[in-house]
Structure 1
């Protein structure tokens, strides 16, 4: 069946999966290891996925502006990249969305419209990527040990200047002298962290306060010794991650957008395809993910979703696979047209 699209603002749904090609590790405040929801599912937080896409959008826009000899001010960088009003020029007041005060901003600055600030509501709703509660995808990686280079290769000391031999001895001794102190503090911290899973919110707050105090003590010990503040010869504790090879359910909804704004969102995904990576420990190869979403569109005029096709993110980057039965299918888009609008001023990222 052939269908046509109308010109009103529409909602676009991306429903599919994210697959961990390499382990994914995320650090959250006051959270030990990877986050787990109330159903027992490990997940990649929406904030990490959203932050990655917003960062890509900002960086890609800046590169296009540079091609046209344009630059953003420091305040404009902060607003577009983070939604932070460092210039303090955005005035608070109720009813911005209700009376369409934000409509001119949305038309000129699709990045801000999609990702928002404290008076422009985000048009992109990006969910957590959830592992199955029936799976146990978590592993500990990066653990091991590190030793002094002069211990591993005893002949290396022959290449040290005589004037530095005494200093070398102090550096090597300092690690040994403080290892016992830091080790006992780490043991205490480890015991406290084990109590977190069974603690109520009030108890958790007290435990985190104890951990913070112990971390301060350990920092003092490290900073008082000769050489590096971090112990050179030590056990590497490792970190928790969702292992490679797991498929996580994921949803994105882009709401109440025009065709131009949806086209800009596709352009952001297109740019993200060059290195689709989430989280930390990239030095160990972590963070690489692939994604596959079924994309549909609906509106108040036509609330039954129309299937537009698929969007894939893989080793070959971004790929849109449009449903050929849909006339004026918005998955068929030309990235160069978005880039031209950025360069020629159709889009204005100084607007907020």
Structure 2
């Protein structure tokens, strides 16, 4: 097959919320300039999110089959195939081409997705960018406490209700004390940057932390508030995003692996976090072409249903020839 080109389109059925370690909120990138020459920002779905999802879904059936056969994978095998981590290759700068060839032949996941510094991936995935620039939206919610339903308290023993009331009061005080601690930490940080004396601020911080910790202890076994405010950013629903996947030196086995991963993705078409709060569901179409641009087939995913695959005459012939 030489090279496969897969033009992908995803549509957010529900808001999609992705949190990266080094970014605040849903990831955004600069794309072009506005009429005043200023950078324009748009939300997007990172390539690593989709690529990592496909890799995990490609590996999972292999792990399940091995476990069923009584030959569960070793920790090294899981890290190598699922995450592409290989400490041995990262510890050596020398590349044994013969060993590399054998390794690719013995582990198709590593051959396709790559591993460590020694095995370069043959699959590249682009960022999924919206057709029109879009900003992430802010979402908020609250997890209510028991007193949101007074009838519930009537069904509890009086001493347990008293325990709840006392815990609730201590929690309110704890929240206020925690806010003071955070404010003092911020003030100390700013003062230290300005070269100011922070002795009194640190004394106040110690007192505030002591008060907060005593209130936490008074709350008993449940240390965290049950009335929790949640806030997060997410790409809105109904947004169309496009990307491209490229498979170099493609084989029939590559296509079978990707078809299997996309089928599992279709049965659970969720990306990102906040899934318990309604986020993550997407649907999509993957158009498979050869390196000359000839359409080979379409793969539709989504709706928590099996993927729908339709091959063109050229694609059917190619798949049959390489089966």
1:320 Cα deviation from its structure 2 partner: 2.1
Tell me what 1:168 maps to: 164
Could you list the runs of 5+ residues in structure 2 that have no partner in the other structure? 32-40, 187-204
Tell me what 1:328 maps to: 317
Aligned length: 289
When residues 47 and 155 of structure 1 are mapped into structure 2, their CA distance, relative to the original with a 3 A threshold, is closer
Contact 1:150 1:157 in 2 (8 A): no
CA offsets per residue over residues 259-310 of structure 1, 9 Å max, x none?
2233222222223222121111111221111111221122xxxxx3332122
Aligned-residue RMSD, C-alpha: 3.3
Within 5 A, what are the aligned runs for 1:212-231? 224=217, 226-227=219-220, 228-231=222-225
Contact 1:113 1:122 in 2 (8 A): yes
> Does 2:315 align with 1:306?
no
Tell me what 2:226 maps to: 232
Tell me what 1:92 maps to: 92
Contact 2:299 2:308 in 1 (8 A): yes
When residues 322 and 35 of structure 1 are mapped into structure 2, their CA distance, relative to the original with a 3 A threshold, is same
The TM-score with structure 2 as length reference comes to 0.77
Give the helix-richer structure, 1 or 2: 2
Tell me what 1:44 maps to: 45
Which is further off, 100-109 or 45-54? Answer: 100-109
When residues 108 and 270 of structure 1 are mapped into structure 2, their CA distance, relative to the original with a 3 A threshold, is farther
Within 5 A, what are the aligned runs for 1:97-116? 99=97, 101-116=99-114
Report SS of the residue matched to 1:30.
coil
CA offsets per residue over residues 52-110 of structure 1, 9 Å max, x none?
11221221111222343332122222222112347x587623345xx454222222211
Name the CA distance, whole Å, in 2 between partners of 1:326 and 1:72: 35
When residues 140 and 306 of structure 1 are mapped into structure 2, their CA distance, relative to the original with a 3 A threshold, is same
Q: Which runs of 4+ in 1 moved over 6 A?
A: 185-190
The TM-score with structure 1 as length reference comes to 0.71
Q: 1:257 aligns with which of 250, 253, 257?
A: 250
When residues 158 and 309 of structure 1 are mapped into structure 2, their CA distance, relative to the original with a 3 A threshold, is closer
Tell me what 1:319 maps to: 308
Could you list the runs of 5+ residues in structure 1 that have no partner in the other structure? 191-213, 299-303, 338-352
